[in-house]
């Protein structure tokens, strides 16, 4: 029989990087910036956290301070992803460059950055460890809530995750609230829909685009951090993060730009992502490869279906992907 109690927690664990990436990208896209650099930013977020944790573990020797062990990688991750967000904004907002190309270049750069430092960190720092395995740091990131073990299936499904998972869900809810119920959210939506109008209303377009994109990048960067520190138990391996960044972007469309919808959708995606592990295929390993297609096929089907039923409220922000220049005429 299909084992839901072990399936759901694994799906959730898979979903968290997607959720963080999607929440960050939604926020970014609401400002009219289509950031295809998110996959790269998630790599940078992950590796920045790894570098922070690695340096701290090296410096602290055996005795880690739990607070610093969490704070240093987190701050490093936020800083790295924020810088990437700033770079994207500088190119697309200040210099009005093509967003698609800038995003792809950022992804090339970011993935390269992650793999480079992942592969060369030990050599660069002249340290003597054989590989980057930050199990001590990872222990703090993946510590489950209390009672997770004593509450049976309930504990397993709801309480067994590291703190970043709960942060991810909270961030999605907060983003959702901000976008729909606050002045800031209203202004941000106006910037993404119709920057000329927002500008004429006295909203500082550049500031909103920068803020949304940088914060969005930081949130997405946390996805990379969660992946390596919690999911991968602190072991960085090159290209292991894979295509999750692209799936996160797909998830944004899937959820029609709604972070709160993203919570359940990302778990669905996470489930599809690992379904092949739970489907009995016997000795036929090749079929598993076909099961791995599922998240992508489902995304395609959803894309097509949602484009077939064209509703006004379900459209992307109107000026998504376009640079804004006040004196354009």
Partner 1 sequence: MRKQTNAPLIQISKRKELPWYGPIAIRAAAIVLALVVCAVVTTALTGENPLAVYGTMWEGAFGTPRKIWILMQNIAILLCVSLAVTPAFIMRFWNIGGEGQILVGGLATAACMILLGDKLPNGVLIALMLLVSLAAGGLWGAIPAVCKARWNTNETLFTLMMNYVATQLVAFFVIVWEVPKGAGKIGIINQSTEAGWLPQIGSYKYLLNILIVAVLTAAMYIYLTRSKQGYEIAVVGQSQRTARYVGIKVGRVVVRTMILSGALCGLAGFLLVAGTDHTITTTIAGGRGFTAVMVSWLAGFNPINMIFTSFLLVFLDRGAGEIATDFGLNHSFGDILTGIILFFIIGSEFFIRYQLRLRKHAGKEG
Partner 2 sequence: MDTKTPAVSLRNISKSFGGVPANEKVNLDIYRGEILALLGENGSGKTTLMNMLSGIYFPDEGQILIDGQPVVISSPKDAYAYGIGMIHQHFKLVDVLTAAQNIVLGLKEPGRLNMEAVARRIRQICDEYGFDVDPDQKIYDMSVSQKQTVEIVKVLYRGADILILDEPTAVLTPQETEKLFAVLRNMRDSGKAIVIITHKMHEVEALSDRVAVLNRGRFVGDVMTKDTNAQEMTNMMVGHPVSLNIQRPEPKDPKPRIEVDGLTVRSEDGILKLQDVSFTAYSGEILGIAGISGCGQKELLEAIAGLQPVEKGSIRYVEDNGTTDELIGKDPLEITSMGVALSFVPEDRLGMGLVGNMDLTDNMMLRSFREGHSVFTDRNGPKALAEQVVRELGVITPGLNTPVRRLSGGNVQKILVGREIASAPTVLLTAYAVRGLDINSSYTIYDLINKQKQAGVAVVYVGEDLDVLLQLCDRIVVLCGGKVSGILDGRTATKNEIGLMMTTVGGTREHA
Q: Is 113 in the site for partner 1 (CB under 8 A)?
A: yes
Q: Is 118 in the site for partner 1 (CB under 8 A)?
A: yes
Residues 239-268 that bind partner 1 (CB under 8 A): 243, 246, 249-250, 253
Q: Is 109 in the site for partner 1 (CB under 8 A)?
A: yes
Of 168 and 190, nearer to partner 2 (C-beta) is: 190
Of 131 and 286, nearer to partner 1 (C-beta) is: 286
Residue 112 partner contact from partner 1, partner 2, none using kind-dependent CB cut-offs of 5 to 8 Å = partner 1
Interacting residues with partner 2 (CB under 8 A): 181-183, 186-187, 189-190, 193-194, 196-204, 310, 312-313, 315, 318, 326-327, 329
Candidate list 65, 120, 125, 204; residue touching partner 1; CB under 8 A: 120
How far, in Å, CA of 99 to CA of 183, rounded?
27
Q: Is 101 in the site for partner 1 (CB under 8 A)?
A: yes
Shortest spacing between CB 188 and partner 2, in angstroms: 11
Distances (CA, A) of 72 to 47, 117, 161, 280: 13, 17, 20, 42
- 19's CB contacts (< 8 A; 6+ apart) are 168, 169, 172, 223, 248, 251, 262, 263, 266
Residue 297 partner contact from partner 2, partner 1, none using kind-dependent CB cut-offs of 5 to 8 Å = partner 1
Of 6 and 238, nearer to partner 1 (C-beta) is: 238
- 304's CB contacts (< 8 A; 6+ apart) are none
Q: Is 129 in the site for partner 1 (CB under 8 A)?
A: no
Candidate list 131, 150, 304, 313; residue touching partner 1; CB under 8 A: 304
Of 140 and 257, nearer to partner 2 (C-beta) is: 257
Shortest spacing between CB 198 and partner 1, in angstroms: 18
How far, in Å, CA of 208 to CA of 188, rounded?
6
How is residue 283 written in tokens?
A: 């000795």
How is residue 280 written in tokens?
A: 């009995």
Distances (CA, A) of 12 to 144, 228, 264: 13, 15, 9
Residue 304 partner contact from partner 1, partner 2, none using kind-dependent CB cut-offs of 5 to 8 Å = partner 1
Q: Is 238 in the site for partner 1 (CB under 8 A)?
A: yes
Shortest spacing between CB 96 and partner 1, in angstroms: 6
CB 136 within 8 A of CB 66: no
Question: Counting runs of H as helices and runs of E as strands, what totals does the chain give?
Answer: 14, 0
CB 217 within 8 A of CB 85: yes
Residue 111 partner contact from partner 2, partner 1, none using kind-dependent CB cut-offs of 5 to 8 Å = partner 1
How far, in Å, CA of 174 to CA of 161, rounded?
20
């Amino acid at each position: 029989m299909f084992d839901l109690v072990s399936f759901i927690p694994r799906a959730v664990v898979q979903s968290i990087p997607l959720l963080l990436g999607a929440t960050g990208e939604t926020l970014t896209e609401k400002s009219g910036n289509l950031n295809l650099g998110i996959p790269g930013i998630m790599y940078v977020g992950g590796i920045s956290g790894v570098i922070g944790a690695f340096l701290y573990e090296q410096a602290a020797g055996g005795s880690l301070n739990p607070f610093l062990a969490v704070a240093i990688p987190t701050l490093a991750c936020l800083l790295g992803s924020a810088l990437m967000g700033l770079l994207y904004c500088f190119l697309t907002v200040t210099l009005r460059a093509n967003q698609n190309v800038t995003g792809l270049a950022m992804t090339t750069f970011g993935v390269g950055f992650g793999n480079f430092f992942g592969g060369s960190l030990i050599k660069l720092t002249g340290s003597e460890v054989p590989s980057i395995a930050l199990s001590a740091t990872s222990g703090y990131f993946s510590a489950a809530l209390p009672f997770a073990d004593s509450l049976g299936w309930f504990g397993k499904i709801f309480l067994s995750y590291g703190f970043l998972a709960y942060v991810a869900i909270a961030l999605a809810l907060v983003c959702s609230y901000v976008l729909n119920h606050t002045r800031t959210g209203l202004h941000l939506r106006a910037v993404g829909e119709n920057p000329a109008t927002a500008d004429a209303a006295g909203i500082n377009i550049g500031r909103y685009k920068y803020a949304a994109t940088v914060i969005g990048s930081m949130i997405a960067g946390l996805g990379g951090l969660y992946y390596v520190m919690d999911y991968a138990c602190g072991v960085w391996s090159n290209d292991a993060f894979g295509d999750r960044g692209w799936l996160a972007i797909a998830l944004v469309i899937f959820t029609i730009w709604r972070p709160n919808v993203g919570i359940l959708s990302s778990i669905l995606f996470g489930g599809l992502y690992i379904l092949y592990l739970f489907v009995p295929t016997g000795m036929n390993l090749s079929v598993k490869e076909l099961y791995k297609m599922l998240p992508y096929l489902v995304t395609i089907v959803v894309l097509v279906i949602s484009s077939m039923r064209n509703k006004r409220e379900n459209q992307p922000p109107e000026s998504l992907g376009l640079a804004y220049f006040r004196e354009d005429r």
